Structures are given as C-alpha cells and as structure tokens.
Amino acid sequence: MNDRRVPVFNSLILFCACLTILTVFQWEAAAQDGNHAALKPNSHLSAMELKIWNDPAFKKQFAESYLAEIEIEPRVTVEERDQMQKVLELISSDQMGEAAKLLEASRNDASSAVFDFTLANIYFQQDKLDQAVTVYQAAVQKYPKFRRAWKNLGVIYIRLGDFVKAAPALTKVIELGGGDAVTYGLLGYAYSSIENYISAESAYRMAILLDPPTMDWKMGLARSFFKQERYAEAAALCGQLLKGKPERADLWLLQANAYIGLNQPMKAAENYELVDRLGESTSDSLNMLGDIYINEELFDLAVDTYIRAMDLNRNGKPDRAIRSAKVLAARGAMEETKRLIERIESQYGDQIETDARKDLLKLRARLAVASGASGEEVKVLEQIVELDPLDGEALILLGQNSSRNGDVEKAIYYYERAANIEGYEADAKVRQAQLLVGQGKYDEALPLLRRAQQVNPRDNVQTYLEEVERVAKTRS
C-alpha cells in the first residue's frame, strides 16, 4: 500500500511544481509585455513588497517550495549500512579504537559522508580535535547539507578558539534548519569573540527567544550592549537579571563597568563594594574601586582598597600598586602615599625589581621634599643613582638639590652627567643655564639654552633664551 502512495504523492508534487513554474513563466511574460509587476498596481502590497514578489530569485525559490526539501542526512548503500552496523556495535561495546580503525579502512572519496562523520565523532570524543576537524570538513565537502557535521564542526572551532571559522559553520547549521538555542548562543559567542557585536546581539536575542531561562544568553546580550557602548541598556538589563540572581558577582561587575561608561562612578563603587561583600572581589575590581575613590578625593578609602587588592595578589608584581601611589602623590595626598609605599615595601620586599624599586625611591624623594627633609631626599636620590647610574631624572634632582644648598660645582657636575644621557640633555642644559644666569654668567648660559632648543624645541625655553640674550646685550 505504501509503495503505491509514493508514486502518487510524487506525481502530485510534480504537478504542483510544474503549475508553479508555469505561473513563474506567466509572471515573466507579463513583465516582458510591459507589466512591471505580475500583481496589479492596485494590489494591497507596497512597492517594495511588489519588487520582492517579482524578483526572479524569489520566484524560483517559491516554485521549489512545492518540492520536498532535499534530505539533510547523506544516504548509505546496503553494503555501507552493514559496515556501519559493525562500527556501531564496536562503539556500543566501548571499543572506540577498533571502530576508528574500521572506519579509516572503509572511508574513501566515494564512500558516504556518514563514515567521515562517525569517524570524526570518535576523534572528537577522544579529544583529537585537529583530526576531527579534518574529517568533519571531508563530510561536509561530500554532502554540503550535512547539518550535524556542520554543527559539530562549529562546536570544535569554538573549543579550539577559532571563532572566525566557527561563525560560518554555525550559520550554516541555522540555514539548514538547525536553529536551536544552543546553536544561536554559540554563534553569539563566536561573533562576540571576533568583535562583531551587532551580529552577536542578534544571535543572543534568538537564543533567548528559544530558551528564556538560560542566563548565559542574557549575559551575552548584556555584554554585547556594553561592547557597543550602549551602557544604559547594559546597566538596565543587568539590573533586571540581578533581581532574580543577586548572588551573581559577574552581573554586578558588568553593571559597574556600565555605570562607569555612563559617568556614574559612585554607583559603580556601590557595585564593587557589593561584590566584595559577596567574597568575589578580584585585585582588578578592587584597584578599579580604589581609582574611583581617588577621583572622588576619598584618599583614605582608596589606600584601604589598594591594600585589599594587594592582599589578593600576593604572588603578583607591585607595579599596579606603585602606579596608584604615583597618582596619590600627584594629587598631593602625601600621608596616604607614604602609607601605601610602606605597605608595598613590607609586602613585596626582595621581590621588588630594580625599576619598581627606583619608582618607590623617587616617590620617597618627593615625600622628603614635601616634608622639607632635604637631607633625606639626597640620600634617596643617591640610592637611585647607585641602582642606575644612567637615571637622568635622579641626577637632575640631585643637581637641583645641590644648587639650592649653594654647592654650584656639585650641581654642575650632576647636570653635566645628566646631559650625557639620551633623553635628558635638553632638561639638564636648561637647569645648568638657569644656575649660571643666577650667578650673572649670561654668556655661558646662552650656548646651553641654544643647544637645549636644538635638541627639544619648547616655547617657554625659547622665551627664556630671548630674555637672557637681551640681558646679555645690555651687560656687554
């Protein structure tokens, strides 16, 4: 009975297809007769819709829609079916190696893509990802509509971090009718990873539509908003998700970053503090919180936060903490700078590398200058020069200190040393020239200023040079 139905059904499909194709020819004939659209102008369709309706490609697709869709699974011959039965028996008895050998011996250019697909699955299960990719590719080359092969290929590309190749593979799955939530979600992840955030947003929206309970898709959507600098939407979506998941630290952090983008730093600070109460703070989140407190001139809170960040990063380097100390010093928060420096030195000790130690010594020199302890400043600067004899900045500071104390000869010695170091010649010569001008030695100062301008031309130095030249002329 079924054998009779198949030809009758196929004949009916063929008749419908022919009827549709005939209609297409009629449309085309009408267009050639001067009709711009097969549908009359008074149709309820818009001009754009009429254009789509009469597009040749659309007509062809519509005609083909009467035919059964080509299968998305490759066929196997009777012999191949028997061979696959043996393979499946080996797989069911957990003899993966034997199953792989049988498939490797059976597959060739003419064999069914099912052989390639099954072998690739075994490689995938054995975590032989590169081999699996090669065989999946062979399967889809043999049978381009092999949806399961495309999907597994896309998943492996995600595993390998090759998101550029993952995106088209997963898109192919969707084109072939496999648009489930996971496929859309993975496609969103792939697009996010290659910084195509608009496409990622679309994919995540589809994943959410098909699978509303899964949080990962909503997080992906929120991140895509953030990456597009749509901070208000990112913050609002995070707020909605936090109502149901207040324990999610990643949501609080993402919303905090969105608040920073919206120039609402104290709202961000509240989020960072909440994350800390959840016990989910990282050194990065605490450092960000400390930076917010500095900008709000809450220096004590900033130092407390930086110290907490250091406690979470005991095996790391002190560079981030030193940078924070420099910012504090620049803001004039000398007591807070001192407290942070002392903690850095006590916590990292001998782990502090030469460049970092120089930075700390320079900060201590600034603290000494601020407190009026010039003797301590000199001691610190000498330590810096001992660590690095080519530190031009420290040599210039030593020259300035000697100049303030009236030791002209020593000051010139330091300035001349600094002038021989690349990058510091101009500043050192200007400082030495200023010292000579203070002694009334204008003629000696002028060559130094002219050389400084040759090395690094600056408007303020040029103005000073011209003034010294005028004074020198009046004295001659």
Q: Which listed CATH number (1.25.40.10, 3.30.420.40, 3.30.450.80, 2.60.120.10) goes with 81-178?
A: 1.25.40.10
The pLDDT value recorded for residue 11 is 39
Q: Which residue intervals of the chain bear CATH 1.25.40.10? A: 81-178, 281-388
- The radius of gyration of the chain's CA atoms, rounded to the nearest angstrom, is 37
281-388 CATH pick, 2.120.10.80, 1.25.40.10, 1.10.1760.20, 3.40.50.2300: 1.25.40.10
Token pair listed for 346: 């006590």
CB under 8 A, 24+ apart: contacts of 159-166: 159/129, 160/129, 160/130, 160/133, 161/193, 163/189, 163/190, 163/191, 163/193, 163/194, 164/194, 166/190
pLDDT band for position 389 (cuts 50, 70, 90): confident
Average pLDDT score over the chain: 83
| Token duo for residue 239 | 């707020």
Q: Which of 238, 278, 298 is nearest to 262 (CA)?
A: 238
Segment 88-127, tens digit of pLDDT: 888 888 888 888 888 888 888 888 888 888 888 889 888 8
How would residue 81 be classed by pLDDT, with cut points 50, 70 and 90?
A: confident
Q: Output the pLDDT for position 67.
A: 44
Of the listed ranges 22-36, 56-70, 80-94, 411-425, the least confidently predicted one is 22-36
Confidence of residue 373 (pLDDT cuts 50, 70, 90): low
Range with the lowest mean pLDDT among 178-182, 206-210, 352-356? 352-356
Determine the Cα–Cα distance for residues 337 and 329; give it in Å rounded to an integer.
6
pLDDT the model gives residue 165: 96
Task: Mean pLDDT check: name the lowest of 233-242, 330-339, 375-384, 390-399.
Answer: 375-384
For residue 188, what pLDDT is reported? Answer: 96
Look at residue 6 and tell me whether its pLDDT is greater than 50: no
- Give the pLDDT band of residue 30 (cuts 50, 70, 90): very low
Residue bearing the bigger pLDDT, 261 or 59: 261
**Per-residue pLDDT at 41:** 46
Model pLDDT, residue 59: 58
Residues 6+ apart with CB under 8 A from 471: 442
